[in-house]
Amino acid sequence: MVSASLPAAEKRSVLLGMKRGMAMRCPNCGEGHLYRKYLKVQACEACGHDNTRYPADDAPPYFTILIVGHLIVAPLLFFPWIWQANIWLVLATVMPALLLATLAFLPVVKGAVVGVHWAIEPRNVVEEV
């Protein structure tokens, strides 16, 4: 809990916030949990920082679709069996992989977005905290 006492805005970097958020930890201290459920952001139990004030809105699903599309869908288009196999076989094999990848990436990406919001918070608000 050494880093929990961030007194000024100069110690808040986007990279640090994203790293802590992607680890699903509080971007302020890096110790408390960011979520209380799958995607429900909570106040930090370690430092008491209110993480619910950082709205993630539509950015996490957008970036998750972008990441999954580039990591799974784009490489699949190069395999000939995608174009030659029965459509139901392709859907039965690809859709579960897409679903699992999306559900796995979504909390990580949302944590990164919350971390960025924490880092770029208006400086006058940071100094009041």
Segment 66-84, tens digit of pLDDT: 999 999 999 999 999 889 9
10-50 pLDDT tens trace: 578 999 999 999 999 999 999 999 999 999 999 999 999 99
Beta bridge partners of 25: 33
Using the Cα atoms of residue 20, residue 101, residue 117 and residue 54 in order, give the sign of their dihedral. Answer: negative
Contact in structure between 26 and 47 (CB atoms under 8 Å): yes
Three-state SS at 72: helix
